[in-house]
Amino acid sequence: MDVFNPSHEEFIFHVRIDDNKSGLEYANRFDIHFALNPGMNHFSLPTDLIRTNIHHRPLNLKEIKRMIVFTYNNSKQRDLYLDNIRLE
């Protein structure tokens, strides 16, 4: 995934992925965060690391239900440009 941050500030960028068994509980989904620097950022994650947060069950990559990107405790409006989102 490529993310362009047009601001001059670094901030934390979160990614959440749910499969067909995740439900709403934190333990059963995958979460990761990255420092998002000003300008272009590229994030790559080996698919074998996409496991649930607590039980460490591999997510079913053929049954991904949702991917959410967000900033946590963010008090400002932010612009981000996402491109080349893919699962390989």
Task: Give the distance, in angstroms, between the CA of residue 5 and the centroid of all CA atoms in the same chain.
Answer: 15
DSSP 3-state of 62: helix
Give the confidence band of 9 by pLDDT, cuts at 50, 70, 90: very high
Per the confidence metrics, is the pTM higher than 0.85? Answer: yes
pLDDT over threshold 90, residue 75: no
Cβ neighbours for 69, distance < 8 A, ≥ 6 positions apart: 13, 14, 15, 16, 80, 82
